[in-house]
Structure 1
Amino acid sequence: MALEQLDKYTKFFGFILKYYNSDIVKSTTNSAMNEMTVEEIPKDDFDDQPEELVEDLKRMGPTYVKLGQLLSTRPDLLPDNYLAALAGLQDDVETISYQEVENIFEEEIGVKISKAFVEFNPVPLASASIGQVHKAVLHSGREVAVKIQRPGVRKNFFDDLDALKQMAAIAVSHSKEAKKYALDDVVEELRYILLNELDYHKEAQNLMVLKENLKEYSHLVIPQPVVEYSSSKVLTMDFIEGKKITSLGHLKKLETDFNPLIDDLVEAYLKQIIVDGFAHADPHPGNIHLTSNDQIALMDLGMVAKFSPKMMEKIMMLLVGMSKKDGDAITEALLEMSDYNSATANIENFRKNINRLVLESTSTKAEDMETGRIVLQMNRIAANDGIKLPVELNILGKILLNLDQIIAVLTPNYNLQQAIQKFIKRMVNKKIKQELKPENVYGLLLDNKKLAENLPGRLNKITEKLANNEFEIKINAIDETRLTDGFQKVANRITSGLIIAAMIIGAALLMRIPSSYSILGYGILPFIFFLIAIGLGLFLIYNIMFKDENFRNDKDS
């Protein structure tokens, strides 16, 4: 066990040492310290390294592949060419043997594969770091896809995550850059993502929830699980024959009008994000297929995003602002959902940069637009100005980034901004109807009932106190004692200053009067006045420099 941990740390430190002095880390550091923005660094400085970084992450193992995929949504951390390389990062893993697949299925489900299925293809359709997928046929004739989780994958992931967590904690405690970009939060987010992806029970539930939420969209299809043949490590679901959106032939694109499909796809994702608060978080081209009957299939729901009601409202405001290209509205929405210190954050610079970003995105055609990239770019701008945007905005950016690719392939002339404006109106109506559901109205009635019950008694108490001249309003706004104490100190200082000044002026005038007694050539009386004035002045300076500080410390404690 100790040797395994040592090997993990050795690989990790070897990776860090390789990239610590590289241009990519320097660019991130400079950006973090506001010395230089990523855009100002010449791209040639690190054009040759993105592919090398991708290969190194693959060699590090599945956990680091997932970390790379997560970092592909962090433009505040990495330059654009690295984001593009990491976005397509897929792990190359060996397939599980058919014997292992049989053993895992029987152990999890309690039934042999030969009994559960009429046919089961031993050759996997796909193989990834967490599991691999096989095609099978149930006795009912229903074609299904069976996802089998790799043996030991959970332990490997969590061992790597524990090492990453310790390294991130050390980095955050010793590095301003690591603390600013919250590397410990990145690792925590990775852990949360993997916990969900490793539990196939959750994925089965996600498939059913999404199917129900999107049942009104006839052009979309979501595979449904076979609950009897599913567990935390085995997921059996509908097999959907289709092609990746990005692999469609040119002729197919010319012959088919994809606008109705894209309308449904865009509206469905808007509904997920700002009405349901439950969204398919990984709609990359590999997970979006076009079926033989021209439907769009949403695959792989291991990763979903959940948005709170308040966050949904802020995101809706953000999308409305983006559709209208209103930089100020976008800025206000971002600030309302973010975390920042008003004393240190550069709000005006943030507002200026967001407006500049919005104005530069002049195109409305899908093939030229980068809505997702713009959202992710906002994170980079925010980090440079001392503003921390919520994780949900990264998820939103990733969703929109993938949708941009799909829309650009199927309908290059699609006006996404116009579609968002049109659909937002409908979404708002849906949201209002949802909030007027009986259970929500019932909660509102209960609150009003409590108010109605308590109001007469409270009004009676108020009027009684008013009649007896006992009504008081307490405001904890100003410390009166401290305020008057401060005024007294100011008055004393002014008086002391006037006395000192008078003594100095008096001494200067007395010097002109001849005296039989003198010290150092000066009359004794003006000399004494000067000494007293110097002593009082020093005493006054001492009080200002030390006593006032002690006074503040006493009050604060």
Structure 2
Amino acid sequence: MKRYKEIAQLLWKYGRSDLVKQMASEEELGIDEPLLKTSPGDPPPEELADDLEALGPTFVKLGQVLSSRADLLPPRCLKALARLQDKVKPFPYADVERIVEAELGVRISKAFEYFNPEPLAAASLGQVHTAIMRDGREVVVKVQRPDVVPQVVDDFAALATVASFLDRYTKVGRQHRFGEIVEELRASIMRELDYQREAQHLILVGKNLAEFDLIQIPQPVPDFSTRRVITMDFVQGRKITKISPLARLEVSGFALADQLFRAYLKQVLVDGIYHADPHAGNVFLTDDGRVALLDLGMVGHTTPAMQNNLLKVLLAMSEGKSEEVADSLCDMSETDLGFDVVGFGKRVAALVVDRQGQHLRESSMGRTLLEVTRSAAEFGVHVPSEFTMLGKTLLQLDEVGRILSPDFDADAAIRRNTSELMTKRLTRDANKGNIATTLLDVKEFLSGLPVRLNRIMDLVAGKDLEMKVRAVDAPVIMEGLLKIANRIASGVILAALIIGASLMMRIETTWTLFGYPGLAIVCFLTAVAGGLYMVANIFIQDRRSERRANRPGVA
């Protein structure tokens, strides 16, 4: 209960008061106001960073994520939260020594020639120390914070409860599915806490980007890396945000930005694994003029099918083709029953047009992707989480690109590299394994083809060939056709009664009604009554069908 109280106090202090009130009143939650208040009476953003740090690693990590979301927060909040990227309060060296020696199974003085007791940087889940190996290799050692795993597990249990409440009782919760977002973030952070997995990421991504001479991925030392400790190359350089204007003149900013963007396109659209956290604290400019990507604990994955849709979306957006963007998003997404496809198309068109009208330095591919994702939920379109992560990654990449080269055009880079990306994808698909699998499938098909053809010809010759057609929802279709047939037959009968009555009006009879031949009047009145009954029955049946169609859970 203490954790719930701390979370509620944080929301009350910095969030919208109507959000906290709604957690008790169950009213509908709006989303038109900014996430954080920015009025003069609000607490300063620096205080928010301090409060998140006081709540522990999980909330520091949330602050890190928010620090790169320029689409959600104003600049002054982003600047304050940026401190959480690598300037969190460090934990004591005694804990560092205890964890390293327990994980490596040897004393620090035996494993390293030198180990700096002062941390180089401290973040949400761990902190980094410089060291020198016995062979003279300069490295950094990242050590996980003590007892961080159980704390993260407890925090996400509390956040999942809050998210579940919002999903169940608020409109915005049903639209955006906060429970799924919290679960995805929990799984991502738990993967980050496995430093052996990060070591594998460094090796794999480094191999995939070996062709880019201006990109550096520090490599791990496997024998000195465990689940809680990772040792890797020391990168000589500075964060790109710390580069002076004079230092920028000494490097080719456009070449660095272009190659970095091409490297990310290759990771996302060809390799299927990419560095998903390129915020300014994780991107260094090395002393030899290259860009180094650090901290590969958070990576994104894309399947071949997802890569096809992502390429379509990126190309269509770079060319301003909003209809193709909307169609591709609908193809890759889960949609609610009766989702508003027209409204969604109009919203996407508005976002794409706004982006096309922005100045080059204001335009952001990542920001537009995230805005499309948020808008999609309002219209019943639930975009895959991979798309949202890609949008966040591109938003961070846009910021890095502007620092390196303010005039870099991401749209032009996408169009410029499309043919190269397609060639690499075709080359990847044409590897020995895929060719062998395809040949085996063809061999199996050809070997069984004569037998199948003989069976078909025997059935045709013996007049035993049958074709069975299985209609979807056949009972419903037959019921509808039967209703139509009954209404047509009734209409024909009523029309015959009216025509017969009009013809019998000319025949004089001894029995009359209202001064007209009695049998003719009876036929006419029967037709009128039948017609009124048919109209009423059609109206009632249509209303019932409409209510059933609109009832939740009824298809």
TM-score under structure 1 length normalisation = 0.83
Cα 1:473–1:19 change in 2 (3 A) is farther
Q: Pick from 186, 193, 200 the counterpart of residue 195 of structure 2.
A: 200
List aligned pairs for 1:281-300, cutoff 5 A.
Answer: 281-300=276-295
| Cα distance, 1:207–1:134 mapped onto 2, change above 3 Å | same
- Deviation of 1:266 after TM superposition, in Å, equals 1.1
Q: Tell me which moved more, 58-67 or 198-207.
A: 58-67
Match for residue 147 of structure 2? 152
The one of 514, 529, 541 equivalent to 1:512 is 514
- Pairwise CA distance, 1:314: 0.9
Aligned in 2, Cα 1:87/1:210: closer, same or farther, shift over 3 Å? farther
**The one of 401, 408, 414 aligned to 2:408:** 414
Which stretch shifts more, 207-216 or 91-100?
91-100
- Aligned residue number for residue 335 of structure 1: 330
Equivalent residue, structure 1, for 2:508: none
Match of 1:438 among 412, 415, 432: 432
State the partner residue of 1:126: 121
The alpha-carbon deviation at position 44 of structure 1 amounts to: 7.1
Query: Does the CA contact (< 8 Å) of 2:361 and 2:406 recur in 1?
Result: yes
- Asked if 1:354 is matched to 2:348, the reply is yes
Q: 2:96 aligns with which of 91, 95, 101?
A: 101
- Summarize deviations over 1:391-435 as a string: whole Å, max 9, x none: 111111111111111111121122322222121211110110110
Q: In the superposition, relative to structure 1, how do residues 472 and 86 fare at CA in structure 2: closer, same or farther (>3 Å)?
A: farther
Indicate the SS of the match to 2:295: coil
- Note if contact 1:289-1:296 (Cα within 8 Å) is conserved in structure 2: yes
Alignment correspondent of 2:551: none
Q: State the Cα distance separating 1:275 from its structure 2 match.
A: 0.2
Percent identity at matched positions?
35
- Determine which of 209, 215, 224 is the counterpart of 1:220: 215
Q: 1:110 to 1:43 in 2, by over 3 A?
A: closer
User: Superposed, which structure 2 residues align to 1:47-446 within 5 Å?
Assistant: 48=42, 51=45, 56-70=51-65, 84=78, 88=82, 90=84, 93-341=88-336, 344-362=338-356, 367-446=361-440
Alignment coverage as a number of residue pairs: 533
> For the residues of structure 2 that align with 1:82 and 1:531, how far apart are their CA atoms?
81
Counterpart of 1:136 in 2: which secondary structure? strand
Residues 460, 258 of structure 1: CA spacing in aligned structure 2 closer, same or farther, 3 A cutoff? same
- Gaps (5+ residues) in structure 1? 1-5, 515-522
**Structure 2 unaligned spans of 5+:** 506-510, 549-553
Structure 1: how far apart are the matches of 2:328 and 2:388?
15
Residues 122 and 56 of structure 1, relative CA distance in 2, 3 Å threshold: closer
Deviates more, 1:481-490 or 1:462-471: 481-490
Does the 8 Å CA contact 2:127/2:143 hold for their aligned counterparts? yes
Contact persistence 2:264–2:274 (CA under 8 A): yes
User: How far apart, in 1, do the equivalents of 2:56 and 2:425 lie?
Assistant: 43
- Alpha carbons 1:74, 1:394 under 8 Å: kept: no
Q: 2:81 and 2:498 mapped to 1: Cα distance? A: 74
- 1:66 Cα shift? 2.6
- Larger CA deviation: 385-394 vs 179-188: 385-394
Quote the Cα distance in structure 2 between the aligned partners of 1:201 and 1:185.
26
1:247 and 1:230 map into 2 onto residues whose CA distance is: 29
Distance 2:235 2:229 in 1: 18
For residues 361 and 317 of structure 1, what CA distance do their matches in structure 2 show?
Answer: 17
Q: CA deviation at 1:469?
A: 2.0
- Matched residue SS, 2:127: strand
Distance 2:350 2:334 in 1: 22
**Deviation at residue 209 of structure 1 after TM alignment:** 0.5
- After superposition, the Cα gap between the structure-2 partners of 1:378 and 1:431, relative to the gap in structure 1 and judged at 3 Å, is same
The TM-score with structure 2 as length reference comes to 0.83
In structure 1, what is the Cα distance between the partners aligned to 2:484 and 2:449? 43
Residues 241 and 280 of structure 2 are in contact (CA less than 8 Å); yes or no, is this contact kept in structure 1?
Answer: yes
After superposition, residues 497-508 of structure 1 pair within 5 angstroms as: none
Q: CA deviation at 1:220?
A: 1.0
Cα RMSD (Å): 4.1
The answer to whether the 8 A contact 1:50-1:85 is kept is: no
2:491 aligned residue: 494
Report the 3-state secondary structure (helix = DSSP H, G, I; strand = E; otherwise coil) of the residue aligned with 2:59.
helix
